[in-house]
């Protein structure tokens, strides 16, 4: 894809006005919409969607929080208010399939909205990217930017233990021809970044160490140059952990979408 091609980011409202409906809704999520760092992930993923010519749309300003942090903090009312309102919007556009780059949104849509009447085919972008690579739609050039580079993958709890997605993100990294190294705690034993269960939105309770510091120790122990993540909260926690505990190290945190976009010529 040449750099001059315009990138299309249709909204559901625009498509509906034209009487069209996309194959899949890209649910951006609050971090993907507002967090400076994760906006880059959103953009990388949208570029890939454009590149492969997938019919997609976003909700734009109509999107709201899925309610995940409220439910996990104990505020079931707020969760259900959000969920019920979101389900109405999704129903209005007759949405059948959702892809999202946030494991928390993914888990909520997939496992928790059905009880409130919202049933969708939900795909996390790690699985989505793996499928695109398998189908040959995304060409990650062999000998590309990450060939032979030591990359480790940090399992997001809400992809991994919560939903048993361990292989898709690793398959993406392997397709990059990267040298995938595992941390001592990975897959079912993966250590949380510290942000789940609404911890992202408050200071940690008193203790001896921050959880993300413990996790960045694991990252450093692998000797990897890059730690791949697939979750906005994990990304923030890992970047902060590296910055605060290993300021002299140059380990980068990159999302799977960024890695794929970069190695497919973006």
Partner 1 sequence: MAYLQQVLFLVLVATATFLLVRRIKFIKTSINLGKPQDLTDNKPARWRNMLLVAFGQQKMFKKPVPALLHLFVYVGFVLINIEVLEIIIDGLAGTHRIFAPYLGTFYTVLLNFFEFLAVGVLVACVFFLIRRNILKVPRFHKPEMKAWPFLDANLILVFEIILVVAILKMNATDQLLQARGAEHYTATGRLFFSSLLMPFFDGFSTPTLVGFERAFWWVHITGILAFAIYVTYSKHLHIFMAFPNTWYASLKPKGEITNMNSVTNEVKIMLGLQPADAAPPAEVERFGAKDVTDLSWKNIMDAFTCTECGRCTAECPANQTGKKLSPRKIMMDTRDRAEEITRSLLAGGKGADDGKFLLDDYISREELNACTTCNACVEACPVLINPLTIIIELRRYLVMEESSAPAEWNAMFQNIETSFSPWKFAPSDRFKWADELRN
DSSP of the chain: --TTSPPP--BHHHHHHTT---SEEEE-HHHHHH-HHHHHHHHHHHHHHHHTT--EEB-GGG----SHHHHHHT-HHHHHHHHHHHHHHHHHTT--EEEES-HHHHHIIIIISGGGT---EEEEHHHHHHHHHHTTSS---TT-TTTT-EEEEPPPTTTTTTT---HHHHHHHHHTT-EEE--SS-GGGPPP-S-TTTGGGSPPPS-SS-HHHHHHHHHHHHT-SEEEE--HHHHHHHHHHHHHH-TT---EEEEHHHHHHHHTT-
Decide: is 2 part of the binding site for partner 1 (CB under 8 A): no
Cα 249 to Cα 48: distance, rounded to the nearest angstrom: 30
Q: Which is nearer to partner 1, 171 or 213 (CB)?
A: 213
Binding footprint of partner 1, residue count (CB under 8 A): 73
Among 25, 48, 57, 65, binds partner 1 (CB under 8 A): 65
Decide: is 63 part of the binding site for partner 1 (CB under 8 A): yes
**CB of 179 vs partner 1, minimal distance in Å:** 27
Decide: is 147 part of the binding site for partner 1 (CB under 8 A): no
Cα 262 to Cα 266: distance, rounded to the nearest angstrom: 5
Q: Which is nearer to partner 1, 69 or 144 (CB)?
A: 69
**CB of 220 vs partner 1, minimal distance in Å:** 16
Decide: is 121 part of the binding site for partner 1 (CB under 8 A): no
Pick the piece of the chain touching partner 1 (CB under 8 A) from 42-50, 93-101, 224-232, 251-259: 42-50
**Mask: binding to partner 1, 196-225, rule CB under 8 A, as x and -?**
xxxxxxxxxxxxxxxx-xx-----------
**CB of 203 vs partner 1, minimal distance in Å:** 7
**CB of 196 vs partner 1, minimal distance in Å:** 4
Decide: is 93 part of the binding site for partner 1 (CB under 8 A): no
In 3D space, the residue among 67, 64, 58 whose CA is nearest the CA of residue 99 turns out to be 58
Q: Report the site for partner 1 in 164-193 (rule: CB under 8 A).
A: 164, 188-189, 191-192
Q: Report the site for partner 1 in 222-261 (rule: CB under 8 A).
A: none
Q: Which is nearer to partner 1, 42 or 222 (CB)?
A: 42
Decide: is 74 part of the binding site for partner 1 (CB under 8 A): yes
Pick the piece of the chain touching partner 1 (CB under 8 A) from 140-148, 161-169, 224-232, 255-263: 161-169
Among 15, 16, 39, 266, binds partner 1 (CB under 8 A): 39
Cα 112 to Cα 147: distance, rounded to the nearest angstrom: 39
Is 248 exposed, middle or buried, given 0-12, 13-18 or 19+ CB atoms closer than 10 A? exposed
Q: Which is nearer to partner 1, 146 or 166 (CB)?
A: 166
Among 1, 16, 21, 33, binds partner 1 (CB under 8 A): 33
């Amino acid at each position: 894809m040449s750099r001059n091609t315009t990138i299309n980011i249709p909204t559901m409202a625009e498509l509906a006005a034209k009487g069209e409906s996309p194959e899949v809704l890209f649910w951006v999520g609050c971090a993907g919409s507002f967090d400076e760092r994760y906006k880059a992930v959103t953009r990388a993923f949208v570029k890939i969607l454009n590149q492969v010519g997938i019919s997609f749309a976003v909700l734009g300003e109509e999107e709201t929080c899925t309610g995940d942090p409220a439910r996990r903090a104990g505020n079931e009312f707020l969760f259900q208010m959000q969920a019920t309102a979101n389900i109405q919007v999704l129903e209005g556009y007759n949405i059948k399939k959702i892809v999202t780059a946030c494991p928390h949104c993914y888990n909520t849509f997939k496992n928790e909205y059905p009880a409130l009447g919202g049933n969708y085919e939900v795909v996390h972008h790690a699985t989505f990217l793996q499928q695109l690579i398998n189908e040959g739609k995304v060409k990650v050039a062999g000998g590309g930017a990450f060939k032979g580079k030591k990359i480790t993958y940090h399992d997001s709890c809400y992809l991994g233990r919560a939903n048993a997605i361990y292989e898709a993100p690793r398959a993406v990294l392997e397709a990059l021809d990267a040298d995938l190294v595992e941390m001592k705690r990975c897959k079912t034993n993966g250590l949380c970044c510290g942000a789940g269960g609404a911890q992202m939105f408050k200071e940690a309770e008193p203790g001896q160490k921050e959880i993300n510091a413990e996790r960045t120790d694991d990252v450093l122990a692998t000797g990897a140059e890059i730690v791949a993540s697939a979750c906005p909260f994990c990304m923030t926690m890992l970047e902060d952990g590296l910055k605060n505990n290993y300021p002299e190290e140059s380990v980068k945190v990159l999302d799977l979408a960024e890695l794929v976009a970069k190695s497919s010529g973006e």
